[in-house]
Chains A and B, each alone.
Chain A
Amino acid sequence: MLPDSDPLIPGTFEMLILKALSLGPIHGWGVAERIERLSGGVCGIQQGAVYPALQRLLLKGWVTSRWKDSDHNRRARYYRLTASGTRQLASEVDRWRRATGGVDRVLRASPQAS
């Protein structure tokens, strides 16, 4: 966890992992790295936490994995989104948008509007 990052909003971690994988198959470190980089360091995670989460996604069938040689000729386990994983991501993003949109509208409210 980076020193100046915030803890994740509960319930978003798996959605972030699915999103990270939607950008292309990658190994566990890559998932953690993508989330940190793409959030600009705001979404702080303990890197190791992606592994139990990936196991849960594997069990749900949203993700598959296979072992491949990585860049430096090392064996690494690459995770890839399945079709149902893609659908799941879409529905979670949809829900997230609606929820945050609602929250956002509430937060934007001014005294005149109410």
Chain B
Amino acid sequence: MRWLHALRARAGAWLRPGARDRETETEIAHHLRVEAERLERAGLTPDDAARIAVERFGDPIAIAESTRAARGGRALEGSMQDVAYAWRALRTQWRFTVIALITLALGIGATTAAFAVLDTVVLRPLPYRDADRLVFLQEVTDRRTLNPPSYPNFADWRDRAVSFEGVASAMFPSSATVRASASDDAERIVWMGVSRRLFQTLGLTLAAGREFTDAETSPGGPQVVMVSYEFWQAQMHGRLPLGTIVFGGDPVEVVGVTPARFQFMTAADVFLAHDRFPGTCRTCRNYMVVGRLRPGATIASARAEMTTLAAAMKARYGDDTAAAGADVTDLREYVVGDYRSLLGIVFGAAALVLLVACTNLLTAQLARGWVREREMLVRASLGASRSRLIRQLLVEHVLLVAAGTLVGVGVAAALTRVVATVGAGQLPRLQDVAIDARILLFAMAASVVTVVGAGLGPALRLSRPGAAGALRSARGTATTIRASWWRVLAGFEVALAVALSVGSILLVRTVNNIMHADAGFDPRELLTASITPSEHDAAHLEDAREALAALPGVEGVAYTTRLPLSWGANSGPVRRRTDPMGPTWPAMAGFRMVSSDYFGVVKQPVLRGRAFSPADGAHAPLVAIVTPGIASALWPGEDPVGKTIATNYLTDEWLTVVGVVAEASNWAQPKGRQNEIFVPYAQHLHALPGQNQIVAMIRTSASPEALTSPARASLRRSMPESAATFRTMEDRIARTAADRRFAMAAVTGFAAIALVLAAVGIYGVFGYVVATQSRDIGVRLALGATPGLVRRGVLEGAAAIAGIGCGAGAIAALAASRYLQASLFEVSRRDPATYAASITVVTAAVLLGAWVPARRASAVDPLVAMRIE
């Protein structure tokens, strides 16, 4: 029956811990009273009797505690007590607590926010059913470049490939104006042509209505449209039945509504069935093709089939198709693959901040050692076991980290909200970033790492009996071996700060270089208006231009069919008369139609020949202006002026080169500079109606922002049916580097945090060193050392740490910047000035951190210092 007794005793302890404690206290009180009475009877004074009774009994609190320990149930009760102790300890040392909390909140907040961005943009599956079965299909040219397929190639793939349950496509989005009903105002919207069964292939359920039927996706079928959920809500007020909208001047029936937030590569408002007008040009490149793998098919097997299929098609169509092969890529990889490395770098930088935060916490914990060790000594002598002490310190630490994590998650939530607002549309899916269960799980993992990384070590060390014994010596002389340990930690922090600030400076310079890159023209004081002219308004382009030019503050207005610097899929082959219509081209180039005064308005220098003039009209010889890249590829060493070229964009029209203009650097992709061909649009008016967009470039004499609203008003008067987006050219350039700007802002923020933390860490270390050595310093001062000498000693110590830390950090940065290489623009990752700047800043921060303790050291009063114990 022994186990029954044991069970009852233990259960009692669990169930009524407080009652058991009170019993023990009553027992002890009774004992002391009885003993004191006995001693009084033996002739002692009541005071002496009470004192000696306690002496013979032992420390009542310690006895009560070990009685409780012996009774069992200590895990639960002890934990509550530990929490109470920890709470008291943290409150008493509130300065430490506040600094530790801020450190933790920054470290965990930064890392969590960075993970949230990485997760949302890169890691999460795309929002389609069984998204891992979806693949992106592209043409592979014989130069091994990837291109969007043409309609005939897409149709052949769809009809012949067996690896897929479905193959569907969408066109690149275009702008148009619609009216939600005949009485509404014209709204500028983005429309996208989609193929038969695109939504079925993606595995999406529509919010209302249905997808296009086979009849509606056949040539000559009825014209109907689908709309986005957002358009349905905002413009059509969620009406049912869906009714009709006015699109391109005609009422068309709306048959379906996409799911909320639907986007395929980009968002669009209205969807048309592009199969009604199947493209016939097999060398064109304008469809985004997605396939859903059949069960059992893999990307590798699909790629093998597609390669064979494309080879057969190449054999059949020869030069009529540019596709020598076909590529099958995981859809998510295609959408976000480009961002993985850059966001990985941001996340890595955040992790370094957490590492610095841990290190800081570690040094701060150790710095408290000389306070805590005495407490530990006292508690150990009261009978607290080592495991009990470790547990208590860990509880304290866990409490701290838990609070820090809580604040950190708050910081992360605020950060992600800012990122989602500012970054929406700049990186894919960024607008969806938020703190959810997955992110919270990550934050918890990060805090566990922090507990283990920064808490276990000090707890083990502090609770070591020897450590407590060593502290028996007076506080003034308790210099320990630990100081060297901390120098290592502080040096580590310095190294991390250097590595982070190198990354930050490299990115700042990259973004700066992009903003000041040679665009080939002058992007300053240039307002752009991207216009979608309705058929009626297209006839008034010239009136609109004159009205804009008449505005005060406007120096000139020119039109172009594409925004400058908008590299995209629209680069096509260029050939000379002597070049056969073969599969290889001597040069590829973008293509734009511009008004005759374009180069003057955007200030793009003419390097050779002449600019366009009004004389280059409909009946004059066809002319073109090229960039130097084309000239040197086609006619190396010769004067290109007077030569003739042809492009895919104007089939069978031979253009005479009349000039060469400056070209732009290309920072969007690591491909060097951008070739372009310009033609005067007056000579190609028949091609204009096919253009759904025209851009007015407005040169201003003052701030282009200020001109936005008068320009908008003017345009509304001259072209009432056409919507337009205004943006300054510099703003548009900034958007082309959005990914790098995001990384720059994040890494720079992290570097700043790391710098501050490193300075605080140094402050902590030298604060400790000075505090523990105040007696030695007092002796040195008494022996004739000057305060200046003492101060210099401390600063020299800090400088030594800075030196070693900076060295290590520079080496680390040299190694790690490899991952940054691809994102940099016109700055070497080994750029010496960057490293020098980073080392200077960090060293200054370190010396600043050491300055206060140094001052304190030199202010030590020798007499006071030596009198302490």
Contacts and interface: CB of A to CB of B under 8 A. Distances in A.
Interface of A: 1, 27-29, 32-33, 46-49, 51-53, 55-56, 58-61, 64, 67, 70, 74-77, 82, 84
A28 B24 CA distance: 11
Contacts of A49: 58, 63
B27 A28 contact: yes
A52 B31 contact: no
Interface stretch (B65-73, B429-437, B665-673): B65-73
Contacts of B5: 58-61, 64, 82
A27 B432 CA distance: 71
Contacts of B57: 46-48
Given A1-B56, A46-B56, A46-B57, A51 B27 contact: yes
Contact of B30 (A27, A58, A61, A82): A27
Interface of B: 1-6, 9-10, 23-24, 26-28, 30-31, 33-35, 38, 56-60, 63, 66-67, 69-72
Contacts of B71: 55, 58-59
A52 B67 contact: yes
Contacts of A1: 56
A75 B30 contact: yes
Contacts of B60: 48
A33 to B, nearest CB: 8
Contacts of A75: 26, 30
A84 B56 contact: no
Nearest to A63: B5
Nearest to B63: A48
Nearest to A27: B30
Given A27-B30, A60-B2, A75-B30, A52 B35 contact: no
A74 B26 CA distance: 10
A30 B57 CA distance: 13
A56 B70 contact: yes
Contact of A29 (B1, B30, B72): B30
User: Which 4 residue pairs across A and B have the least CB separation, nearest first?
Assistant: A61-B5, A48-B63, A61-B2, A48-B58
B56 A77 contact: no
Contacts of B67: 51-52, 55
A61 B1 contact: yes
Contacts of B26: 75, 77
Contact of A47 (B2, B3, B31): B31
With a 10 A CB-CB cut-off, give which of B26, B28, B56 has the most chain A CB atoms.
B56
B5 to A, nearest CB: 4
B27 A52 contact: no
Contacts of A70: 30
A36 to B, nearest CB: 9
A104 B495 CA distance: 70
Given A46-B56, A49-B58, A58 B9 contact: yes
A67 B67 CA distance: 17
Q: Is the interface of A mostly helix, strand, loop or mixed?
A: helix
20 contacts: A27-B27, A27-B31, A29-B30, A29-B35, A47-B56, A48-B28, A48-B31, A51-B63, A55-B71, A59-B5, A59-B6, A59-B10, A59-B70, A59-B71, A60-B6, A61-B2, A67-B23, A74-B33, A75-B30, A77-B23
Given A46-B58, A47-B31, A60-B6, 5 more contacts: A27-B27, A28-B27, A48-B60, A58-B71, A59-B72
Nearest to B26: A75
B35 A47 contact: yes
Contacts of B1: 61, 84
B58 A84 contact: no
Contacts of B35: 29, 47
Nearest to B35: A29
Contacts of B30: 27-29, 70, 74-77
A49 to B, nearest CB: 7
A13 B27 CA distance: 20
A39 B71 CA distance: 28
Contacts of B10: 59
B71 to A, nearest CB: 5
Contacts of A32: 31
Nearest to A58: B9
Nearest to A2: B56
Contacts of A84: 1-2
A76 B31 CA distance: 9
B58 A52 contact: no
A59 B11 CA distance: 11
Contacts of A33: 38
A65 to B, nearest CB: 9
A38 B35 CA distance: 17
A47 B58 CA distance: 7
B61 to A, nearest CB: 10
B383 to A, nearest CB: 9
B321 to A, nearest CB: 88
B136 to A, nearest CB: 70
Contacts of A58: 5, 9, 71
Contacts of A27: 27, 30-31
Given A48-B58, A55-B71, A61-B5, A77 B63 contact: no
B371 to A, nearest CB: 29
A3 B336 CA distance: 82
A27 B29 CA distance: 12
A58 B38 CA distance: 27
With a 10 A CB-CB cut-off, give which of A53, A61, A82 has the most chain B CB atoms.
A61
Nearest to B37: A72
A32 B2 CA distance: 25
A84 B5 CA distance: 11
Contacts of A56: 70
A29 B34 contact: yes
Contacts of A46: 56-58
Nearest to B53: A47
A51 B24 contact: yes
B181 to A, nearest CB: 85
Nearest to B33: A74
